[in-house]
Structure 1
Amino acid sequence: MSNLIPTGRTDIEWRNESTQKPPKAAVYPAEANADKILKAAYEHTATVWTGDFHNAKQVLAAMKKRVKRPSEKKRAGGGDAVAERSRNIQTAFHAHRMKQAQQSRILNMLAVEIGAGFTLDIPRAPDVKAALADVYGKPNDAPFLLPLNQLLGFIGAHEWHKKGVEIPALGGRIHVPFGVFSPLRGEYLDLIAAALAGSKFQTAFDIGTGSGIIAALLAKHGVPKITATDTNPRAVACACANFCRLDLDNIVIEKTDLFPAGCADLIVCNPPWLPAKPSSAVEAALYDPESRMLEGFLNGAAAHLNDGGEVWLVMSDLAEHLHLREQDFLPQCFQTASLEIAEVLQTRPKHAKAADENDPLAFARGREVTSLYRLKKAV
């Protein structure tokens, strides 16, 4: 989202990768501290930092401590707190999401001015040109304001993009820029790799390819012809780059919604797992409003499947534990789509949040199971 906002000097563009509304105005104070910036933030006014970059990061850290209520740590602890949260699980999830959004909006009120050509002209500022080019592409001609918290995220994402993420199941690295979901949760990749052992699929579709990791895994396991699809331009560019790095010339990528033309022996999809509204482009890989992508994929898969072929769906049951989806939702979707289960492979998540007792959703994450559903056309 971008918009022009008044600053007392001139109107200037405000950029924010989330769906948050822009501030009503922005100010350039000679001096500012965390309390003053927060006071202005609660009045919907952004503060543009013009001092030392490292001091700005310290102020942002102080703001984060202040916007997190002291009572949160206490509630996140003992069994009584867990029992209280569990009484209304769905409400707990939505309250957690709302708090995250509110805190993010307030923290994003500390901004910096990015000059023409992606320059940041404040003392001890790093060179941010490459990080911003990763996000925006062509350098800007006019200055714009950017939340410092997001700029730090862009810088971190750029470093990860250069370094890449080691994928044991692939035997290589996947490089992911900002705006494309990173395959940090490798347990579902292990399920796919196990299912591919001994398979003889000749053609495959990877629906919603994202970074291209699943398509690459299919290619590494000997599927000769693969088509990957996505609607996100950043994902399409990212996947193409990864296929080139891995020297995979048997994958075609198309910018299209769900299915390409034709049929395949294998159709794989790892859709967003939670039926909720995303608050940014990258969250579209996590949240699927009203399960629209999930149902669209399942309802269209049989028409694109060769005889004797399989549909593979990667899905977590976290939504069921959060009471966002009924327990019989998936079986009903399979039946409606004229698909039946041939096999289910399952594993437990291994990421840090799964074992974090202080996570607000720990009561659900602790029971989460990730499944690979191998589906066939119903007889």
Structure 2
Amino acid sequence: MHVRWVEGGEKFSARWRSESGAPPPAEIVVVDDGLTADEAHRLANADKAMLWRGDFQNARQLIKAVTRRADRSGRRHAPKSPVEAFYLHRQRQARRARLLGKLLVPMETGYVVPLRRAPDVREACLAAYGPDSEPTVVSLREMLGVIGAHEWRINGVEVPGLDGRIHPHYGVFAPVRGEYVELVARAPLPSRELAFDIGTGVLAAVLAARGVESVVATDLDPRALDCARDNLDRLGFGDRVRLERTDVFPTGRAPLVVCNPPWLPAKPTSPIEHAVYDPGNRMLKAFLDRLGKHLAPGGEGWLVLSDLAEHLGLRSRDELLGAFDAAGLSIVDRLDTRPCHPRASDPDDPLHAARGVEVTSLWRLAVG
């Protein structure tokens, strides 16, 4: 897909790039440092995209100012229930993303940004997008995400339960919530022979670090698999973990099957949100319904799941326990922990009432 605009009386076009799947803007106006935050907010609300030709650092300041205006205008009324608070929060997030996505920056072939004081984004864009062959236009919001993700990839994220660092790739969810990793790091292993990691991420490395001789890790997302391979090789576990691109389970049975599915039953709006939102509990139900067919006799399935959805009114505890029963699964034990990330104690977070009482659990499940 391409975008088109008129600049200096001439017609131009470039490839449109959007990892979130946003459609190309129908109307583009060319702007520069003379654009005020109020005018930018007005143009974005009028569904007009703005192609930036000014100073790159000024554009960064402008998008912060537009963010503040978008947040203020999005606060209409107080929610009446936790579930209403959740959906209002999602609506505000979507509206903010739509507005901020209207500020665009050009990139020449080779990911060169032809703006004053623009950073060198070539390495970051190549890692995120792969090779390019033509000029492109991308939202400044996405470009800043690409830059930030590349910094994370270079520096890595310390994972206490792993005693090592994970280097997340762009578009792959980073293990910033270490409490769930620590649950897997301390739960009693039923076997060290073989384990399946469903929806691979950091947990395959944790299992290998605990001495599991062979791990089969699955995912459908090529980026997640590439990221896992990179990190497993960095950590020295590459020879003990086999990655398989498949939906949920690999073939065969294992004495231990681990799954950390997306925790909230809602629709994702971007590729990376698939790690957080699970429409209709699809992955959760698939894991539970098919777990018995992939557990070796006497084996355990470990389900790592937050109860945030319960506090938000998106799923009840009775529904979860009923899903265990329907799948013919019994509870061997449950390990609990509380989150320690900043939002859990932030009273200004729109979901604070639910986050403040959230508990993350590792459910040890068995057949029968």
- Same fold flag (TM > 0.5): yes
Is 1:294 matched up with 2:287?
no
> 2:141 aligns to what?
149
Is 1:348 matched up with 2:338?
yes
Is 1:303 matched up with 2:293?
yes
Is 1:89 matched up with 2:82?
yes
Alpha-carbon separation, structure 1, partners of 2:355 and 2:199: 24
Q: Map of 1:205-224 to 2, 5 A cutoff? A: 205-209=196-200, 212-224=201-213
1:186 to 178, 192, 201: 178
Superposition TM-score, scaled by structure 1 size:
0.92
Deviates more, 1:304-313 or 1:53-62: 53-62
Query: Displacement, 1:199?
Result: 4.6
2:54 to 51, 54, 72: 51
> 2:216 aligns to what?
227
Is 1:61 matched up with 2:64?
yes
Query: Displacement, 1:88?
Result: 2.2
> 2:5 aligns to what?
7
Q: How many positions carry a matched residue from both structures?
A: 362
Query: Displacement, 1:217?
Result: 0.4
> 2:22 aligns to what?
20
Amino acid at match of 1:331: L
Residues 296-337 of structure 1 show CA distances to partners (whole Å, capped at 9, x for unaligned) of: 111111101100100000001100111011221111111111
Q: Map of 1:294-333 to 2, 5 A cutoff? A: 294-333=284-323
Deviates more, 1:327-336 or 1:38-47: 38-47
1:240 to 197, 213, 229: 229
Alpha-carbon separation, structure 1, partners of 2:304 and 2:115: 46
Alpha-carbon separation, structure 1, partners of 2:69 and 2:57: 19
Query: Displacement, 1:71?
Result: 8.6
Amino acid at match of 2:56: F
> 1:80 aligns to what?
none
> 1:79 aligns to what?
none
Alpha-carbon separation, structure 2, partners of 1:174 and 1:323: 33
Superposition TM-score, scaled by structure 2 size:
0.95
> 2:98 aligns to what?
105
> 1:164 aligns to what?
156
2:39 to 36, 39, 44: 36
> 1:202 aligns to what?
193
Secondary structure of 1:24 counterpart: coil
Secondary structure of 2:174 counterpart: coil
Alpha-carbon separation, structure 2, partners of 1:199 and 1:272: 24
Q: Map of 1:100-139 to 2, 5 A cutoff? A: 100-138=93-131
Secondary structure of 2:206 counterpart: helix
Amino acid at match of 1:45: K
Alpha-carbon separation, structure 1, partners of 2:82 and 2:177: 24
Alpha-carbon separation, structure 1, partners of 2:74 and 2:19: 30
Alpha carbon RMSD of aligned pairs, Å?
A: 1.6
Alpha-carbon separation, structure 1, partners of 2:310 and 2:24: 34
Residues 37-96 of structure 1 show CA distances to partners (whole Å, capped at 9, x for unaligned) of: 222212211111111111111111111121121795x98xxxxxxxx63x3221221111
Amino acid at match of 1:129: R
Amino acid at match of 1:203: L
Amino acid at match of 1:91: E
- Unaligned 5+ residue runs, structure 1? 76-83
Structure 1 pair 70/10, CA: closer, same or farther in 2 (3 Å)? closer
Structure 1 pair 71/293, CA: closer, same or farther in 2 (3 Å)? closer
Deviates more, 1:157-166 or 1:13-22: 13-22
Alpha-carbon separation, structure 1, partners of 2:81 and 2:304: 27
Percent of residue pairs bearing the same amino acid type: 46
Secondary structure of 2:12 counterpart: coil
Secondary structure of 1:223 counterpart: coil
Alpha-carbon separation, structure 2, partners of 1:43 and 1:129: 32
Amino acid at match of 2:146: F
Secondary structure of 1:32 counterpart: coil
Alpha-carbon separation, structure 2, partners of 1:133 and 1:301: 39
Q: Map of 1:258-273 to 2, 5 A cutoff? A: 258-273=248-263
- Unaligned 5+ residue runs, structure 2? none
Query: Displacement, 1:295?
Result: 0.2
Displaced runs of 4+ in structure 1, greater than 6 A? none
Alpha-carbon separation, structure 2, partners of 1:359 and 1:142: 42
Alpha-carbon separation, structure 1, partners of 2:232 and 2:13: 43
Secondary structure of 1:349 counterpart: coil
